[in-house]
């Protein structure tokens, strides 16, 4: 498997973006137009997408298509002749069944039948000799050099479609062409750790560093571009106003902070319905699950007043979840409780790209086999940002928690908000023994919710009073200590066009649920082995009187003194 990925297949074949696979699919269609134009014409006329079939062939290397005897022979040739074998096999199959495909395609309205015929071609090839004989006819027309050129061309097209600026004449301008191979390292003695060797000097080559820096910037730009495209494709209004081109002008700094501080002057406080609530009386407000409710009055802890579709009334506060979109226009497409696709875009692509940026140039103490983590650097920056007025900030946060004041941008500056975010994530995640990577992803989620990730990047990189902290954690060629952070900030500023409602504790909540499920499973397994509890009685049915009251009911009883001390 490692040999296939590292030696036979092109880079990024099984990566998250499937960039190598998409390029190979376009190469297949290009070769089909050149060598079998009749089939290509019929596919176009019948509006049949060959990629729906060929992608499965390429992704599984024909393992789900060929009979086992044929598959093993094809894999033998794949290891001997390389990735060019895949294209020769596909064209040879279609060439052997060309007449059958054309006969079906001539019938009007036969798109579905044509698709079925193409899908069944591999399973009908029982004699490998005919396939190998046809493959030999493509040895001189489909070569490794031709495939390499076509892959490079179509990979550049795909990357350009995602917002990257590509020049195929410069090899280093296609960073995705570099394959990350396995690094098998042996244990080193103290002398070897102190004195650099040849491999380490090659790793520190300036040319390779430039390639890695370009890769990280391309990944971040691509992650932001994918998020923009997601919202533009889903929301017609955003399609008219949103942009995917970053503004690199230098006069945006004061404007960004001004917009951030004054954002609370516009917008409303809303809530999302957690379940259906049927209207029984005239003064009640009925709604369905996931409806967005405009919160008008929340003075009472349990009964709020809201408005939906022009109707106003009261509703139980426990039936909704606050969606604080003041200063931004709430969008269901940015709410992961409704659309799970945004979860992968933020926690997957964006968080991974942001972590690469933060880890680039991070110091590593080889003598002690100890590497610093970006989260530790962010903690230091957050403390240093509010150190001069720490008591005032701490008192302000305490007042917010005590009297339930707004703990958002109306009160807190970006520096104070970063300090609060780090403090809250540490408190919630440390109890679950979450890794530092999980904390970093949660911070990214927190930042996009508050639309301040670009301001936090500026805070980490610009303040001259924190230069000593940056020197402690990063080398001089890192993004954090170089002018490249301004480009990163401009790219991240594009995310402020959209509204996000993501759960910061999503990962630790999922981990706790999985742990609880595993514990319950083990308990049931032990009870099944022992035949029940120690006294021989299975206590599966707990009496209703012994079940704990729900939190909402308990709060209501305590407030109105409708409780017994037995509760």
For the chain, how far is it from start to end, CA to CA, in angstroms?
61
Do 546 and 540 contact (CB within 8 A), yes or no? no
Residue 421 has pLDDT above 80, yes or no: yes
Residue-level pLDDT at 325 = 53
| Topology, domain 267-324 | SH3 type barrels. (2.30.30)
Report residue 195's pLDDT band, with 50, 70 and 90 as the boundaries: low
Instruction: Say how many C-beta atoms besides its own lie within 10 A of residue 169's C-beta.
Output: 6
| pLDDT for position 531 | 47
> CA 248 to CA 397: how far, in whole Å?
35
Q: Which positions ≥6 away from 393 have C-beta within 8 Å?
A: 386, 416, 419
Q: Choose among 378, 375, 419: nearest CA to 400.
A: 419
More confident: 33 or 526: 33
- CA distances in angstroms from 509 to 359, 422, 563, listed in the order given: 26, 18, 32
501 and 335 Cβ atoms separated by less than 8 Å: yes
Of 421, 412, 413, the closest CA to residue 442 belongs to 421
Q: What is the pLDDT of residue 537?
A: 43
| Token representation of residue 410 | 């109306």
- pLDDT of residue 369 exceeding 80, the answer is no
What's the pLDDT at 539? 39
For 417-435, letters b (16+ CB in 10 Å) and e give bbbbbbebbeebbeeeebe
What does the pLDDT look like over 509-543, one tens digit per residue? Answer: 766 656 555 555 555 545 555 544 434 443 333 34
Residue 206 pLDDT class (50, 70, 90 cuts): low
Structure tokens at 422: 């780090």
Return the higher-pLDDT residue of 17 and 155.
Answer: 155
C-alpha to C-alpha distance for 151 and 494, rounded to whole angstroms: 31
What does the alpha-carbon distance between residue 342 and residue 352 come to, in Å, rounded to a whole number?
A: 14
- The pair of structure tokens assigned to 235 is 């929301």
pLDDT band at 35; cut points 50, 70, 90:
very high
Query: pLDDT at position 110, please?
Result: 77
pLDDT, tens digit (0-9, with 9 covering 90-100), for 37-79: 999 998 988 888 888 999 999 999 998 888 888 899 999 999 9
**For 504-518, what is each residue's pLDDT tens digit?**
888 887 666 565 555
- Torsion, Cα 396 397 399 400, to 10 degrees, reads 120
Average pLDDT over residues 448-474: 90
pLDDT band per the 50, 70, 90 thresholds, residue 353: very high
Question: How many Cβ atoms sit within 10 Å of the Cβ of residue 556?
Answer: 18
For the domain 2-161, what is the CATH superfamily, name and number?
Ypt/Rab-GAP domain of gyp1p, domain 3 (1.10.472.80)
Q: Which residue has the tokens 């495909």?
A: 101
Q: Is residue 50 a contact partner of residue 36, using CB atoms and an 8 Å limit?
A: no
* pLDDT 10s digits, 478-493: 999 998 899 999 999 9
Domain ranges of the chain: 2-161, 217-248+332-502, 267-324
Instruction: Give the residue carrying structure tokens 């046809």.
Output: 134
In angstroms, the CA 86 to CA 142 distance is: 11
Pick the CATH number of 217-248+332-502 from 3.40.50.720, 1.20.58.900, 3.50.50.60, 3.40.50.10490: 1.20.58.900
Query: What pLDDT shows up at residue 410?
Result: 46
- Identify the pLDDT of residue 533: 42
Q: Distance (Å, rounded) from C-alpha 62 to C-alpha 192?
A: 46
């Amino acid at each position: 498997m490692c040999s296939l990925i590292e030696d036979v297949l092109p880079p990024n074949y099984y990566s998250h973006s499937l960039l190598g696979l998409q390029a190979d699919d376009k190469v297949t269609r290009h070769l089909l137009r050149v060598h079998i134009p009749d089939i290509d014409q019929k596919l176009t006329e019948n509006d049949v997408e060959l990629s729906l079939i060929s992608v499965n062939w390429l992704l599984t290397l024909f393992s789900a298509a060929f009979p086992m005897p044929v598959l093993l022979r094809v894999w033998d040739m794949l290891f001997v002749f390389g990735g060019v074998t895949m294209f020769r096999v596909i064209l040879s199959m279609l060439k052997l069944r060309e007449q059958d495909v054309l006969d079906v395609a001539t019938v009007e309205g036969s798109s579905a039948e044509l698709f079925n015929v193409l899908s069944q071609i591999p399973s009908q090839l029982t004699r490998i000799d005919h396939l190998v004989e046809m493959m030999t006819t493509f040895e001189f027309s489909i070569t490794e050099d031709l495939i390499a050129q076509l892959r490079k061309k179509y990979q550049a097209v795909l990357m350009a479609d995602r917002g990257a600026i590509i020049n195929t004449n410069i090899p280093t301008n296609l960073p995705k062409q570099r394959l990350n191979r396995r690094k098998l390292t042996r244990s080193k003695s103290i002398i070897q750790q102190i004195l650099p060797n040849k491999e380490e000097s090659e790793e520190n080559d300036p040319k390779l560093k430039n390639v890695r820096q370009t890769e990280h910037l391309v990944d971040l730009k691509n992650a932001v571009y994918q998020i923009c495209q997601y919202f533009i494709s889903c929301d017609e209004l955003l399609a008219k106003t949103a942009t995917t081109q970053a503004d690199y002008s230098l006069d945006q700094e004061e404007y960004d902070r001004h917009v951030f501080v004054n954002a609370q002057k516009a917008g409303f406080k809303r809530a999302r319905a957690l379940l259906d609530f049927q209207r029984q009386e005239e003064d009640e407000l009925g709604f369905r699950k996931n409806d967005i409710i405009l919160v008008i009055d929340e003075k009472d802890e349990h009964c709020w007043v809201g408005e939906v579709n022009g109707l106003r009334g009261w509703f139980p506060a426990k039936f909704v979840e606050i969606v604080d979109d003041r200063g931004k226009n709430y969008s269901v497409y940015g709410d992961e409780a409704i659309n799970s696709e945004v979860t992968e875009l933020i926690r997957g692509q964006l968080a991974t790209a942001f972590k690469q940026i933060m880890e680039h140039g991070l110091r590593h103490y080889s003598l002690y086999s100890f590497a610093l983590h970006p989260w530790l650097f962010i903690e230091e920056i957050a403390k240093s940002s509010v150190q001069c007025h720490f008591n005032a900030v701490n008192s302000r946060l305490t007042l917010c928690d005590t009297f339930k004041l707004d703990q958002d941008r109306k009160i807190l500056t970006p520096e104070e908000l970063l300090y609060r975010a780090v403090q809250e994530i540490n408190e919630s995640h440390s109890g679950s023994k979450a890794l530092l990577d999980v904390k970093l992803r949660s911070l990214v989620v927190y930042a996009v919710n508050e639309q301040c990730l670009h301001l936090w990047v500026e805070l980490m990189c610009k303040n001259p009073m924190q230069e000593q902290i940056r020197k402690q954690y990063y080398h001089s060629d890192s993004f954090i200590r170089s002018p490249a952070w301004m480009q990163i900030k401009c790219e991240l500023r594009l995310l402020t066009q959209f509204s996000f409602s993501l759960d910061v504790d999503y990962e630790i909540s999922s981990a706790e649920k999985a742990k609880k499920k595993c514990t319950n499973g083990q308990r049931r397994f032990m009870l099944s082995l022992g035949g029940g509890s120690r006294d021989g009685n299975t206590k599966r049915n707990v009496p209703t009187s012994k079940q704990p009251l729900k939190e909402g009911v308990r709060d209501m009883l305590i407030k109105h003194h409708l409780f017994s001390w037995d509760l």
